[in-house]
Amino acid sequence: MNMDTNNNIQNDNISDFLLTRFSENIQTFEKYFPDIAAKFKSYKPTKNISFFYSEAGTPNVSFGDSNKPFYPEDPIEYCKKQIISELEKVNIQSDKYPPQYDPFGQFSFRYLNRLVEIDSQNAFVNEISPLKTGSVASCMIIGVGLGYHLADLFERLEICNTILIEPDQDVFFASLHTFDWANLLEYIFQNDFSFNLILGQTDNLLSQIEEIGIKNGEFLLNSRLMIIHSYNEGSLSILNNLLDYKTILFRSGFFDDTFFGCCHSIKAIQAHRKFVKKHVELGEYKNLPVFIIGSGPSLDNDLAFIRKNQDKAIIIACGTALDTLYHSGIKPDLYACTERTPVIAQALQAIPDKEFLNNLIIISTNVCHPYTFDYFKDSALFVKENEPLIPYIKQNTGELDWLQGCSLSNPFVSNCGVSGAVYLGFNNLYLFGIDCGKVSEQQENHAGNTTLYNEHGVPDKGGAYCINSKARGNFREETLTNMLFYRSGKNIGTLLAQNPSVSCCNCSDGIFIENTKPTHSESLFELFNSLTEIDKVKFHEFIKHEKTAEIDITEEKIQKLISKPRFAEICNDILLMLKKLKYENRKDLVVQLMKISRFIQNKRHSDDLFYACLIEGSLQSFFIMLVHAIYGSEDEKKCLIAVSEMVEVIQGFLVEAQDVFNKFPDYIMGEHRKYYSNNLVGKDMPNCKATAFPPDMNLMARKYDDPLKKFVKKTQ
């Protein structure tokens, strides 16, 4: 019984059973997944599909001209054995937060740390057999086959969130004729579970998985089971794509970060800082070479080249690279900075020549700390992706459509430099010192000519600089990195993939970055010898007067848009949902957390965008800890008691968040201490005591009388 590539179904060559099942399945998909139904109702397979029946009467299939059965024996029995085998060898893997260090006094950290404490007191584990729990928060299934394994899997496990990945759409099409999808989907949606299908090419697999997490609750992605139906070229390709799975975890921010960012945004508007215009093209500057410079250790290898050619390229100094360039005789045009913390302003004190700083244009995002702006006369600011205040203003006023947004500007300042260059509109990029790690344990973490680390005693060991893994190198087989550095490189590669017109040479001796061309600076001398010098004064004037503008909106107008009672109302709605939680079994708890997550996500797509964005990050982070506890022990009762205690902690957070929100918009990081005269971060709550404010951070551990009081430009 064949279906060839030119026909959908040959009615005279296929049994009535298969035709009827296909029709019933399409009707069910029209109900729950209309896009999939529309596509496969008239789908044309790319290869011959032959159906036949096993001796037990179960439909099987072969693809192409091989006549090789998809299942080597009776499909039902084969799938049953396969699922039993998979469940016996795989575990539910749950991620959790470690205790958080709080250097600035962020009240949401203490709630997260209290949840971590409860989790630790119960000695909850990170892996557990699904056969012991009977349910799982999220299950990733690679391979749809003919669907029979799904029935057996769902008979054995209650799966709250399913992600089914099938790269071969012909296989899924065949399953519509063989498997009772209608029964499975009705069961899933009647129980308020989530079911997600990723079909076809999986080049952007992680992005699709991330979207599923955002829709149903990011916490789901941090507790998962993986079932591989068949090991073949397609499934191995998927597994290869999933090697970077951890780069999409722990992405949720915290209430304090978002709230600080909103208040900083208003300060930038009040101070008449200029923002980048979206619709103004770079024109004659578009194809100029742009040097984006980080302070990674390999920068030392390229300083001579940069020095010689500094007048033939636009130079963007990322973070502490500014210190290195100043002391190397190289004059940047733009200074990239993303951080909303006040200590960045302290780092700028390492530059004795204030005129040197004042002549630069700072490129950053709207959340940058106001102290940092004090060092620069001119700015070119972007609206940072996922920061809610300015999108909320646009939504409610119909104004500010001219503002240029930016994405993938984290986790390091080099990401801001690359993102800033791309969204300004440059097409010709060169990366230096963006190592995202280092080539050996003995190598320093930063370029040598940086006084911050060498003279002022700023630490660059441990924390974000702790090297604990390896990755493919840009100029060598492998180099040293960590997950945060690796994510930084991945974000640059993703940004470049989204902007294919941008050419990017990576001259850094660090990790390999996708969509960049590994290039030694020595090979560029001939090219740059042929280039002419850039009129930097003219370029700066263009950025200051044509490419950027102030936001003309008053604080009073913004204040009228913000409703403190409305924020309290949303917090109280979620509080009520948490108080109504039932602690009867693991599965029901996860489903209830999914409902709360969907409630918040729906608010993000309404007039409540601003309020939902403020609390979503912290709540998703808290839910990660809840689901870790839910699947932390074979003793379900022990898990449910602990989760009940943790939920009471979260309720305290929602109460205190309302009090903090009432301080809007005057809640600047560092200055917010003025609201806490008792030197405690927030106030005592029944299940979470207030902690002491950390001492003011003094970045400069040592005084240094820098002999280079005035910048001296060098070309050799």
Q: What is the predicted pLDDT for the residue at 3?
A: 31
Residue that is written with structure tokens 């709230």 in the block: 259
What are the helix (H) ranges across 398-450?
413-424
Residue 14 confidence (pLDDT): 66
Q: Which pLDDT score is estimated for 7?
A: 38
Residue 1 has pLDDT above 70, yes or no: no
Q: Give dist(CA 21, CA 29) in Å, integer.
A: 12
Whole-number pLDDT of residue 148: 97
Q: Strand 503-506 and strand 517-518: pairing? A: parallel
pLDDT at 11 over 60: no
Three-state secondary structure call for residue 113: helix
Q: Residues 232, 638: contact at Cβ < 8 Å? A: no
DSSP H helical ranges for 605-698? 609-630, 636-661
The stretch 707-713 carries a mean pLDDT of 95
DSSP H helix total and E strand total for the chain? 27, 24
Here the tokens at position 214 are 């955002």
Q: Which domain holds residue 508?
A: 257-550
**Residue 33: both structure tokens together:** 């997944």
Three-class DSSP labels, 453-489? HHCCCCCCCCHHHCCCEEECECCCCCEEECHHHHHHH
Q: Is the pLDDT of residue 4 over 80?
A: no
Span of 16-20, 45-49, 233-237 with lowest mean pLDDT = 233-237
Between residues 7 and 664, the one the model is more confident about: 664
User: At 584, which amino acid appears?
Assistant: E
Task: Identify whether 356 is part of a domain.
Answer: yes
- C-alpha closest to that of 599 among 285, 215, 239: 215
Q: Would you say residue 233 has pLDDT above 90?
A: no
* Distances from the Cα of 268 to the Cα of 175, 390, 708, angstroms: 56, 12, 31
375-386 per-position pLDDT tens digit:
999 999 999 998
Task: Determine the pLDDT at residue 710.
Answer: 97
**pLDDT (tens digit per residue) in 677-690:** 999 999 999 999 99
Distance between CA 532 and CA 9 in Å, rounded? 65
Residue 344 lies inside a defined structural domain of this protein? yes
Residue 693 pLDDT: 95
CA–CA separation, 568 vs 574, rounded Å? Answer: 10
- Sign of torsion, CA 162 163 168 169? positive
Please say if the pLDDT value at position 8 is more than 50.
Answer: no
Q: Which residues contact 247 (CB under 8 A, 6 or more apart)?
A: 206, 483, 486, 487, 490
d(CA 112, CA 256): 12
- For residue 468, being part of any structural domain is answered with yes
Instruction: Please state whether beta strands 2-3 and 49-53 pair in parallel, antiparallel, or not at all (unpaired).
Output: antiparallel
List pLDDT tens digits, range 56-65: 889 999 998 7
Q: Give the model confidence (pLDDT) of 346-358 as tens digits.
A: 999 999 999 999 9
Q: For residue 169, what pLDDT band results from cuts at 50, 70 and 90?
A: very high
Tell me if 622 is assigned to some domain: no
Domain-located, residue 437: yes
Q: Is the pLDDT of residue 96 over 60?
A: yes
Residue 203 pLDDT class (50, 70, 90 cuts): confident
C-alpha 671/C-alpha 129 separation (Å) is: 48
Q: Before 411, cis peptide (omega within 30)?
A: yes
Per-residue pLDDT tens over the stretch 662-674:
999 999 999 999 9
Model confidence band, residue 247 (pLDDT cutoffs 50, 70, 90): confident
pLDDT reading at 472 higher than 90: yes
In a domain, 584, yes or no: no
Categorize the per-residue pLDDT at 172 as very low, low, confident or very high, splitting at 50, 70 and 90.
very high
For the chain, the farthest-separated pair of C-alpha atoms sits apart, in whole angstroms, at 91
CA dist., res. 461 & res. 393, Å (int): 41
Over residues 605-619, mean pLDDT: 95
Q: Please state, in angstroms and rounded to a whole number, the distance separating the CA atoms of residues 587 and 631.
A: 10
The predicted pLDDT at position 506 comes to 98
- Pair 683, 658: CB distance under 8 Å: no
Q: What is the mean pLDDT of the chain?
A: 93
CA 428 to chain centre: 26
Q: Which two tokens mark 11?
A: 């009615």
**What are the pLDDT digits (tens) for 301-337?**
999 999 999 999 999 999 999 999 999 999 999 999 9
Rounded Cα distance between 219 and 625, Å, is: 8
User: 153 in a domain, yes or no?
Assistant: no
Inside any domain, residue 525: yes
The residue among 467, 462, 493 whose CA lies nearest residue 480 is 467
Q: What whole-number distance in Å separates Cα of residue 218 and Cα of residue 212?
A: 8
How do residues 215-225 score in pLDDT, each as one tens digit?
A: 999 999 999 99
Query: How many whole angstroms separate alpha carbon 498 and alpha carbon 502?
Result: 9
Buried b (16+ CB within 10 A) or exposed e, 13-43: ebeeebeebbeebbebbeeebeebbebbeeb
State in Å, rounded, how far the first CA of the chain is from the last one: 77
Peptide bond before residue 565 is cis, with ω within 30 degrees of 0: no
Write the single-letter amino acid at 39.
K
- pTM (whole model) above 0.75: yes
Q: Check whether 2 has a pLDDT greater than 60.
A: no
User: Which of 44-53, 225-234, 358-367, 534-543 is the least confident region?
Assistant: 225-234
Give the single-character DSSP code of 61.
Answer: E
Please name the residues in contact with 303: beta carbons below 8 A apart, sequence gap of 6 or more.
324, 328, 330, 447, 449
Could you give the number of structural domains in the chain? Answer: 1
DSSP letter for 363, please. E
Question: From edge to edge, which strands make up the β-sheet containing 59-63?
Answer: 2-3, 49-53, 59-63
CA dist 655 and 688 (Å) reads: 12
